[in-house]
Amino acid sequence: MENLLTDRAFWVKYWESKTDLAVPIPDDYLFHSELASLIQSQNVQTAIELGGFPGYYAVFLKRYFNLDVTLLDYFIHEPVTRALLEANGLGVHDIAVIETDLFSYKPEKQYDLVLSCGLIEHFKDTADIIQRHIDFVRPGGSLMITLPNFRALNGWFQKRFDKENYDKHNIDCMDPQLLRQICERAGLDVVQSRYYGHFSLWLENEKEKPATVRLLKKTLWFAGKVFTKVLPFNSRALSPYIMLEARKPA
């Protein structure tokens, strides 16, 4: 596990600091357009969300596309996941759950869609963690990975005002060209690897930050939103996310 930038204690503390986790997932959830297009064009029937506790995207895929969905993470707190399912009109058996270490688990099946959102940046060896995603993709299936772009203004803000959280991320992997090269070397056909989103700014546990930091964040957030409303474009400097989509040859 030397490849990991976090440990179980970090994630226990992280999730225990969160409140109101059991919320209804809207149909316009982040990345909804790209997921809808992929599912429809590739006739996706089965999907797995890796590292996704409490399972927001697993719930999204089940609720709005009725996919056969699995959630895999090495930290699962069952009452939270159950409450999230109930908040979205789903039962405990509507999503399969696997609590395991991704580095010791051998996939028992492969899926039409393998998805992770905010996972690979917590590992030092980017090629290795992506290959572990690829192992779950069936021939002809799709891989979608999203991650934050801390090379942007948001990253500067994280580093300046939440260094502990910033240091839990592999900044080097936040490079669309690197992700493209890794997938191509692994034999995948890359559909897109790009910066995503016009602008956003956030802090973990923002309510605990000093008032001056919260005010600065609010000011920068507003200014950035206004600027990108007038000039909407994706860029390394401002986009808050990176998106990778690739296919495994049939």
pLDDT digits over 20-44, tens only? 788 999 999 999 999 999 999 999 9
Q: List the structure tokens of 229.
A: 């409303």
Whole-number pLDDT of residue 207: 84
Chain centroid to Cα 74, Å, comes to: 15
Tell me the per-residue pLDDT of 90-127, one tens digit each, with 9 for 90 and over: 999 999 999 999 999 999 999 999 999 999 999 999 99
> Which of these, 72, 29, 36, 34, lies nearest to 54 by C-alpha position?
72
Between these two residues, 74 and 179, which has the higher pLDDT value?
179
pLDDT of residue 92: 93
Question: Distance between CA 225 and CA 104 in Å, rounded?
Answer: 43
Task: Give the tens place of pLDDT for each residue, 121-151.
Answer: 999 999 999 999 999 999 999 999 999 999 9
Q: Within 13 Å, how many C-alpha atoms sit on residue 88's CB side? A: 30
Return the closest-CA partner of residue 11 out of 101, 93, 84.
101
Q: Does domain 8-150+163-199+239-247 have CATH number 3.40.50.150?
A: yes
d(CA 238, CA 166): 17
Q: What is the mean pLDDT of residues 77-87?
A: 92
- Identity at 167, one-letter amino acid code: D
For residue 46, what are the β-bridge partners? 68
